[in-house]
Structure 1
Amino acid sequence: MLSKTMFILASAATLVNSQFDPTSVPYATRQAWCNSQTSACPILCLQLPGASGTPTTNTCSADTLLYDCICSNNVIPNASEYSQTIPYYTCTETNNQCVEKCNGDSTCQNDCRVKNPCGAQDPKRVNITTTAKATPTASETPVNTLVNGATGAGPRMASVNMSHVYGLCVLVGGFVAGFATLL
């Protein structure tokens, strides 16, 4: 099953690259794209369960823009979900070329980008730390409601909002005292 999945993903990457003419971009730009792709591969692998940051394969050809990124767990990350990767660069360049062909027609230009979004459309959050949030007690809720008009903001929010009020009072009081001494 894993090898079949790898074949499908590799075929999809090849299909995407086959729709894009690499020679439409200067060679130096393609080299920079490949450098970014090979730099991104270890980071992409770290996003996968059971993979280290050392891929078993990490190559990119500036001539063809074909790349391989196979992680230590033999999984190919979906590079199209990330920026700084060949799929992202080819997508954005395809959109740029589409916009150029629109001859200033803003509807056409908008369609070029909206109908062909690049990067993650619904990214998965991985490697995040969750923190338990304390639920406000009954005695905290009325204070929150009175101070900032919304319940559940927590006691810290109430004190931050009140500090602005006190600070303003001190500032105005200082001005009044200063003018009183001049008279």
Structure 2
Amino acid sequence: MLSKTMFILASAATLVNSQFDPTSVPYATRQAWCNSQTSACPILCLQLPGASGTPTSNTCSADTLLYNCVCNNNVIPNASEFSQTIPYYTCTETNNQCVKNCNGNSSCQNDCRVKNPCGAQDPKRVNITTTAKPTPTASETPVNTLVNGATSAGPRMASFNMSHVYGLCVLVGGFVAGFTTLL
């Protein structure tokens, strides 16, 4: 199964590279793209059922922009559905080069981006768990004693959802990685 997976991966990477010339981008930029790709791979694996954030293969060549991201369940995530990945970077760079070649023609420039959208067009939300939180009964609600023996419902503990923190870390990391490529 793994060798078949590697063949599919190599075929997909070849297809991407047949449409994009890596040497059209400075080497330092390609290195930054590869760093983002290898950083994104574990996160992409977490989106797949049955996979952990520890891929069995996670490589990227700044020379060729060929990359490998194989999750521990032998599934290759669709990196083109995410930003901060080689398919996303090559797509946006292709669009930038297309716009540049339009020589100021706004209709041509618009077509460059509209006819070649990058990233997820209809992302599937996986690994999402929705659970209803029970409403506390009167006996479960904290009570504070006030002056003259009166009571009041006490402050409830703030629920802390780690998925929001994780998402924020990924978002901030993406901004930092994107910003460093501009420098």
Which digits, 9 at most, give the CA deviation of each residue in 1:97-138, with x for residues without a partner? Answer: 000000000000000000000001110001223255999999
Change in Cα spacing, 1:160 to 1:104, as seen in structure 2 (3 Å) is same
Q: Which has the higher helix share?
A: 1
Match of 2:131 in 1: 131
Q: Give yes or no for contact 2:46–2:52 (8 Å, CA) kept in 1.
A: yes
Q: 1:174 to 1:57 in 2, by over 3 A?
A: closer
Distance of 1:174 and 1:70 partners within structure 2: 21
Q: Is the 8 A contact 1:135 1:152 kept in 2?
A: no
Residue 111 and residue 156 in structure 1: after superposition, are their counterparts in 2 closer, same or farther (change >3 A)? Answer: farther
Quote the residue 1:8 is aligned against. Answer: 8
RMSD: 15.8
CA deviation profile, 1:35-92 (whole Å, cap 9, x unmatched): 0000000000011111110000000000000000010001111100000000000000
Q: CA distance change for structure 1 residues 116 and 156 in 2, over 3 Å: closer, same or farther?
A: farther
Q: Distance in 2 between matches of 1:96 and 1:119?
A: 15
**Structure 1: 5+ residue runs without aligned partners?**
none
| Preserved CA contact (<8 Å) 2:142 2:153 | no
Q: Which residue of 1 aligns with 2:149?
A: 149
Q: How many residues align?
A: 183
Cα deviation, 1:5-45, whole Å, max 9, x if unaligned, reads: 65334312320122100010000000000000000000000
Cα distance, 1:83–1:138 mapped onto 2, change above 3 Å: same
Structure 1 contact 136–154 (Cα < 8 Å) conserved: no
1:12-23 aligned within 5 A:
12-23=12-23
Q: Structure 2 vs 1, CA of residues 108 and 155 (structure 1 numbering), >3 Å: closer, same or farther?
A: farther
Verify the 8 A CA contact 1:9 1:76 in the aligned structure 2.
yes
Structure 2: runs of 5+ lacking an equivalent: none
Once the two structures are TM-superposed, the CA of residue 142 in structure 1 deviates from its matched residue by 33
Q: Hey, what's the Cα distance between the residues in 2 that align with 1:103 and 1:80? A: 28
The answer to whether the 8 A contact 1:147-1:162 is kept is: no
Larger Rg: 1
User: CA contact under 8 A between 2:20 and 2:94: conserved in structure 1?
Assistant: yes
CA contact (8 A) 1:37 1:84 kept: yes
- Measure, in 1, the Cα distance between the counterparts of 2:178 and 2:64: 74
> With CA pairs under 8 Å and 6+ residues apart, which has the higher RCO, 1 or 2?
2
Q: 1:167 to 1:4 in 2, by over 3 A?
A: closer
Change (3 A) 1:119 1:154: farther
